[in-house]
Structure 1
């Protein structure tokens, strides 16, 4: 509670708090009676049945009440009474008004209405609350901590960034209640249920269908708002939204996730950010991500509705799932505020049990199939030969989706890998069993899993060479090993590099090569595509991501090999050196910063010069 003019009393349900009453005269235990009346703010006709009205008498010291709400005398002296109030651990979360009714010793009565409501939150410290979290260290991390790490980048180049949740700042709690009650449409009667509140918040943080907090924008034009990469915390977003009641521009998945963590923690729901690298967006509920490739090795964007994001960020909330009728699915639940697919006529997702996702129980409420696909879909590549020709299965990849699931470690500014919470090891029989179980529940079409004709004579290995710093060249290589003892093969190989957004949308072509090579029996051949900085720097988009692809056709056979991968060029490493003395908090000091890797600077004539930038700062 802030100790200023606008201070509000904030309590957690199921946890006792004390109230000091100053009376007009001395309180007599044996002749005076006091009762407390609590009413949910904003309800026109509060009632006992709806849980919006509670009346409890002040009981003598050391009295155990059988009621779920209680008021017990702690002390009385002169004209002061100190009472201990205990709220119901399942009561409505939100603002409560209260009145104090007194019955005097001469049969008179007085009533006092307090002008300011107090706020009741969920309580992870209370074993009877559905959001109870046993570990104190985890409560500190997932409820009390106002700063965390969000992981972006790609699975082989992870980029942590600090995010300020700021759940204790001005208007943030009030905005969180507004998002749950009004925008999320839980209603005042429904906010006792953590499951429904979490689901409503996943809808209320985005704006497409309910005018929620954050306006999404995945283009490159951020005029009229703030680019998503410029946000470093939730405070300004929520304060602006609460004051203007208009969506704040602009957000992408990490912004939605960071804001959702703030709102959940403000209301007392344990919450953490989770990043899934190579996350699938399955638009057809097939549990597969389908790509169509033309004769040129180009992924046909016009036919693709599914996609794989370099990374996607959602949230986990901790709670009991009494609505599922079993304790098997208690614990971490996925909710996602990024507007991707409609669920129940809204852009909302979850909560769905992480345990259920791992088991392949995709019918478990809510949105289990969608989350399962994000972390464990099969990637399927089809050769498209025109509208009148059947599709040909080129390849299926069962290992390429749902990599390096990451969150901030408890009590440490390091990464915690939680991949095994979501899925079994990709090469295990348990993982395939989970996938088949999910497919059967979704009634998927099994024809897409027909295997290509067996052909094992040539082994293909597709790789990206070099740790790529912006400004450096890189190479894409396909290696072909002919394992046959008696036959040579002619192979046509197409290698290409395309710019790609972090959501997986392929953009401009950077470079492409098409070569034909004879791979003799027992021999190895390589085809290499070299890409210089001059060739790719003008096509760098948002987070400097690229897609590399290989289509190889073995002549006189029915075999084609296709592979692709995403990668990201990284920023140069910066070396910071303290010039003199020891650093002291709050005092200026002199340091020098220099780029370890030189940057090429383009000249007007198309040539480049290497420049090692160095600067000195106070």
Structure 2
């Protein structure tokens, strides 16, 4: 039997690479009266999509259940079943059967690259050959009459993508018949297989990070966290095909690396953005979104990926959470465990010095012409789970990949995968992009006084706690929030954190990695305060409290307070209000300076996400001491509350009420309220006109659920006066109680 298989395999290689036609052998079949000696012929293959979908957790892929041209989706390293109908009963002793798998998207498949695989059918017994990570298996489980059951086990490290299948049959020294299976077989990464490099042990984590179709992405500031629903929709129409196209055509991953989650995730971090490869999403950090959609108007990845797959042009527009949401969808669709992660007060270090340097003139005003770095109110990236055989077992686990185009890495806008454990240990030299990721969560902020191009800089202050306030992600199995800051760094100012920082500085070798101790001055204590939870439309107050602890000396102090609107990347967009005051803080006394900002003062200067940067610069004249502090602040938009008025049942109309309050002291002239929810409603939009100040709005939507189970409804309200207002609700749709 083994000699027949070897001969058969060599023949098939010649067939494929020489492009012979299999049908010639079918037409040349010789009629033999003895049925047992007739050449075995495959009549039909049943891919058993229901069974395989359940076993492989792939039953939700639209490719599996669509009515026209369905395909099988399975995971590597795990058996999938086939039911094969033959021209006669199968005789394992005389009949040679082989399965020939070829990558569908490769022009010249060959065995050496792993794009052509020939697998002989062998009986499934206790003595069957054991699988290793490199070989496939085809196991005969038994048969009834002319039908046999077969298990195919793809190698646990086989190439991920679309495969074609042919089944060849041979009897003794007769010719070979070849049956071509008309559909494709999609093979994905497998977090359930222990030998796969993306294997995750915990079932709840696999369910959350591979199968969950909706999640939360956190925006806002570290003081006012804003959870936003994002629908990943990784199983929907065209999503998986788009992901494979990104690997082949945009990421240009070499075919021999289509089995490598490290190479693929790195390529996808580049393919999702558009500056250098016309990838999926075009970024826009201005306030002009003409010709495209506002970044905060997206509620999920589905519309973006489907549009890109159809047009092959970047979709306008996105910012960091959009890049992260789409990248999470791509990874989950391919079978790579992934989750979006938000870092508040996230550093953007342009020179890999692990410090963020800010420069001010004698009046405490920021010198924007010298400023190259920034602190984003928040930044969202993606963590993917995988082994790291390239750098060592201790770095297995969560890896950072970031699709937001910030800095070039190997001549492309991409980032990662970067081991989270390596970041915590200060191992910034480990591939990939360790120094940049380290700075996002743990850079030191250094403030400098600038006296002129020929004068030395004066270190005013350094802040070792401002960057990486907290790092968060959605909890497993519910809608809560989990703080994962401790996985990225040791507690702030702890001995371990400072030691790791200095070790990383030594490894960076950058001339800007500089630290100086500021002259100690403890007589005056400064306390910079800001009221946190302010709803848009309200006024707010900035307060600086001063305490002179010296019992014998008064101090003359000049204080400058400033409020500026900023986009979430930390870039100021003009000035809203400034306040300067000279005062004498007398011995053993307290004093304070306040600045009130009304809605009328900030309304026409608001930028997206309603964020402000508050700065305070104080100069103690008698000893030439400077104090500088900054804080981020965001006014809060109202929430949309969704309430079902009927019990959600398949096939029955369900009313859902959406309410919110206009918190502004002015009327909203015109706005649009939309509701979206896969499986229960197509996008529904309502125009609402003339919403008076401080008035409650209530609108009713009608749903028609088609699929049982949990579904997430997402509501959005947009208008010229009030934007980025949203809300969500998870409902459970039950089966209808009606009987025929």
For normalisation by structure 2, the TM-score amounts to 0.80
CA distance in 2, matches of 1:229, 1:553: 40
Matched-pair contact (CA < 8 Å) for 1:257–1:315: yes
Change over 3 Å in CA distance of 1:426–1:305 after alignment to 2: same
1:445-475 Cα deviation digits (max 9, x unpaired):
4784212222221111111136311111111
Residue 125 of structure 1 pairs with residue 207 of structure 2: no
- What is the match of residue 108 of structure 2? 45
Residue 548 of structure 1 pairs with residue 614 of structure 2: yes
Structure 1 residues 418-429: aligned runs within 5 Å: 418-429=484-495
Change over 3 Å in CA distance of 1:594–1:413 after alignment to 2: closer
Structure 1 residues 303-452: aligned runs within 5 Å: 303-324=370-391, 326-445=392-511, 448-452=514-518
Question: Structure 1 stretch 295-304 or stretch 585-594: which is displaced more?
Answer: 585-594
- What is the match of residue 30 of structure 1? 93
1:461-497 Cα deviation digits (max 9, x unpaired):
1111363111111111111111112110100101111
1:545-585 Cα deviation digits (max 9, x unpaired):
0011111111121211111111101124677899xx87656
- What is the match of residue 16 of structure 1? 79
Change over 3 Å in CA distance of 1:301–1:134 after alignment to 2: same
Structure 1 segments (4+ residues) deviating >3 Å? 444-448, 572-578, 581-595, 615-618
- What is the match of residue 617 of structure 1? 699
- What is the match of residue 41 of structure 2? none
Change over 3 Å in CA distance of 1:115–1:589 after alignment to 2: closer
1:249-281 Cα deviation digits (max 9, x unpaired):
111000000000000000000000000000001
Q: Supply the RMSD in Å over aligned alpha carbons.
A: 2.1
Cα deviation for residue 167 of structure 1 reads 0.8
1:99 aligned to 156, 166, 185, which one?
166
CA distance in 1, matches of 2:457, 2:340: 39
Residue 471 of structure 1 pairs with residue 471 of structure 2: no
CA distance in 2, matches of 1:537, 1:274: 31
Cα deviation for residue 312 of structure 1 reads 0.2
Where 2:65 maps in the other structure, the secondary structure is coil
Structure 1 residues 217-616: aligned runs within 5 Å: 217-324=284-391, 326-445=392-511, 448-465=514-531, 467-572=533-638, 593=659, 595=661, 598-601=663-666, 611-616=693-698
Matched-pair contact (CA < 8 Å) for 1:474–1:530: yes
For normalisation by structure 1, the TM-score amounts to 0.95
CA distance in 1, matches of 2:531, 2:86: 79
Change over 3 Å in CA distance of 1:420–1:226 after alignment to 2: same
Change over 3 Å in CA distance of 1:616–1:317 after alignment to 2: closer
Cα deviation for residue 598 of structure 1 reads 4.7
Change over 3 Å in CA distance of 1:522–1:187 after alignment to 2: same
Cα deviation for residue 18 of structure 1 reads 1.0
Change over 3 Å in CA distance of 1:237–1:66 after alignment to 2: same
Matched-pair contact (CA < 8 Å) for 1:453–1:558: no
Change over 3 Å in CA distance of 1:429–1:98 after alignment to 2: same
Change over 3 Å in CA distance of 1:72–1:577 after alignment to 2: closer
Where 2:624 maps in the other structure, the secondary structure is coil
1:93-139 Cα deviation digits (max 9, x unpaired):
11112221111257232112223331110000000000000000000
Q: Which stretches in structure 2 are left out of the alignment for 5+ residues?
A: 1-63, 669-690, 701-740
Matched-pair contact (CA < 8 Å) for 2:224–2:532: no
CA distance in 2, matches of 1:251, 1:286: 28
Q: Which stretches in structure 1 are left out of the alignment for 5+ residues?
A: 604-608
Matched-pair contact (CA < 8 Å) for 2:239–2:305: yes
CA distance in 2, matches of 1:173, 1:241: 13
Cα deviation for residue 616 of structure 1 reads 3.8
1:233-261 Cα deviation digits (max 9, x unpaired):
11111111111111111110000000000
Residue 183 of structure 1 pairs with residue 250 of structure 2: yes
Q: Which has the higher contact order (CA 8 A, sep 6+)?
A: 1
Residue 65 of structure 1 pairs with residue 147 of structure 2: no
Question: Structure 1 stretch 34-43 or stretch 215-224: which is displaced more?
Answer: 34-43
CA distance in 1, matches of 2:536, 2:568: 17
Where 1:298 maps in the other structure, the secondary structure is coil
Matched-pair contact (CA < 8 Å) for 2:223–2:532: no
- What is the match of residue 606 of structure 1? none
Matched-pair contact (CA < 8 Å) for 2:399–2:417: yes
Matched-pair contact (CA < 8 Å) for 1:272–1:317: yes
Matched-pair contact (CA < 8 Å) for 2:564–2:612: yes
2:157 aligned to 90, 112, 117, which one?
90
Change over 3 Å in CA distance of 1:374–1:560 after alignment to 2: same
Change over 3 Å in CA distance of 1:566–1:77 after alignment to 2: same
Cα deviation for residue 66 of structure 1 reads 3.9
Structure 1 residues 155-234: aligned runs within 5 Å: 155-234=222-301
Cα deviation for residue 317 of structure 1 reads 0.3
Change over 3 Å in CA distance of 1:588–1:14 after alignment to 2: closer
1:295-337 Cα deviation digits (max 9, x unpaired):
232222221111110000000000000011x211000000000
Q: When the two structures are aligned, how many residues end up with a matched partner?
A: 610
CA distance in 2, matches of 1:223, 1:500: 20
- What is the match of residue 134 of structure 1? 201
CA distance in 2, matches of 1:79, 1:577: 57
Change over 3 Å in CA distance of 1:14–1:588 after alignment to 2: closer
Question: Structure 1 stretch 16-25 or stretch 99-108: which is displaced more?
Answer: 99-108
